[in-house]
C-alpha cells in the first residue's frame, strides 16, 4: 500500500495566483480530511468528506478556499486567489469509517510570496 | 466543539528516561487517537484508544473516558522519540501537542 499520496510536496507561488493541492487516499478508505499546520495555529481541520460528500467544512477559513472530492480516489484543495498568510503545510489524511485506521500524507508545503 | 488540552507543552528528557504525556478533553468521546510528528514533519498514528490501555513496544496509552483524559507513556526514551505528540478527538480535531526533546 502506497499510503496517502499528496502532490506537490512543495509549492511556491506569487500572491494572487491560484493554487491546487492534490490528494489520493488509501484505497478502501471512505473518509478524507484536509488540515493546515502553522506555528501560530497548530493543526487545523479544514474540511472532511465521508463517501465523497463534504460533512463539515466549518474550518475552511474563507471563500478563497474550496475542496472537492469527485471520486473515492481523488481530492483537491484549491486556494484562489492565494495570499501570503496562506503559507503553511497542508496535510491530507484518510481513514476507514469511524476514524479507525487514520493515515496522513506527507504534506504539501505552500509558500505564497 | 470538544476542547482538547495537552500537557506539558514542552518536555526535555535524557535518553533512557521515562515520561508521561497527558490529554484532557472537555466532553465524552468515542474516539481518541495519539500521533507522533517527527522532526521531518511526518505524522504517524500511534494508537487508536477510545478507552482502556494499549501497548506497542516502549509506548503505551491509557484512556479513562469517564474522567475525560488520556495518557501516553514513553519508557526508556530514545533520541528517535523526539518530535511533537498530538492527541485527537472525534472529528479529528487536534490538541496543541507536546514537544518532546530527547537528548543523548
Is B91 within 8 Å of chain A by CB? yes
**Minimal Cβ distance to A45: which of B41, B93, B96:** B93
User: pLDDT under 70 in chain B at which residues?
Assistant: none
Q: State the Cα–Cα distance between residues A113 and A86, nearest whole angstrom.
A: 10
Is B39 within 8 Å of chain A by CB? no
Provide the residue-wise pLDDT of chain A in tens; the chain has 113 residues: 689 999 999 999 999 999 999 999 999 999 999 999 999 889 999 999 999 999 989 999 889 999 999 999 999 999 999 999 999 999 999 998 766 668 999 999 999 99
* Helices within B1-104 (DSSP H only): none
Is A23 within 8 Å of chain B by CB? no
A contacts of B86 (beta carbons < 8 Å): 43
On the question of a cis peptide bond just before residue B8, with omega within 30 degrees of 0, the verdict is yes
Q: Counting Cβ atoms within 10 Å, is residue A88 exposed (0-12), middle (13-18) or buried (19+)?
A: buried
Is A34 within 8 Å of chain B by CB? no
Give which of A32, A19, A59, A65 is closest to A43, Cα–Cα.
A59
pLDDT tens per residue across span B75-103: 999 999 999 999 998 777 788 999 999 99
Amino acid at each position: 500500500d502506497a499510503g496517502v499520496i499528496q502532490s506537490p510536496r512543495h509549492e511556491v507561488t506569487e500572491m494572487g495566483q491560484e493554487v491546487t493541492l492534490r490528494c489520493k487516499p488509501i484505497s478502501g478508505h471512505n473518509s478524507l480530511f484536509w488540515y493546515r499546520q502553522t506555528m501560530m495555529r497548530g493543526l487545523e481541520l479544514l474540511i472532511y468528506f465521508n463517501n465523497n460528500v463534504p460533512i463539515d467544512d466549518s474550518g475552511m477559513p474563507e471563500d478563497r478556499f474550496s475542496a472537492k472530492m469527485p471520486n473515492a480516489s481523488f481530492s483537491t484543495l484549491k486556494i484562489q486567489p492565494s495570499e501570503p498568510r496562506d503559507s503553511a503545510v497542508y496535510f491530507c489524511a484518510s481513514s476507514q469509517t469511524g476514524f479507525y485506521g487514520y493515515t496522513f500524507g506527507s504534506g504539501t508545503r505552500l509558500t505564497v510570496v | 466543539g470538544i476542547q482538547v488540552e495537552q500537557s506539558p507543552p514542552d518536555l526535555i528528557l535524557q535518553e533512557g528516561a521515562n515520561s508521561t504525556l497527558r490529554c484532557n478533553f472537555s466532553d465524552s468521546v468515542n474516539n481518541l487517537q495519539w500521533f507522533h510528528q517527527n522532526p521531518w514533519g511526518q505524522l504517524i498514528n500511534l494508537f487508536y484508544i477510545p478507552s482502556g490501555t494499549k501497548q506497542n513496544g516502549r509506548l503505551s496509552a491509557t484512556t479513562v473516558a469517564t474522567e475525560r483524559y488520556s495518557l501516553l507513556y514513553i519508557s526508556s526514551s530514545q533520541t528517535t522519540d523526539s518530535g511533537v505528540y498530538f492527541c485527537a478527538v472525534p472529528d479529528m480535531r487536534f490538541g496543541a501537542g507536546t514537544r518532546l526533546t530527547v537528548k543523548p
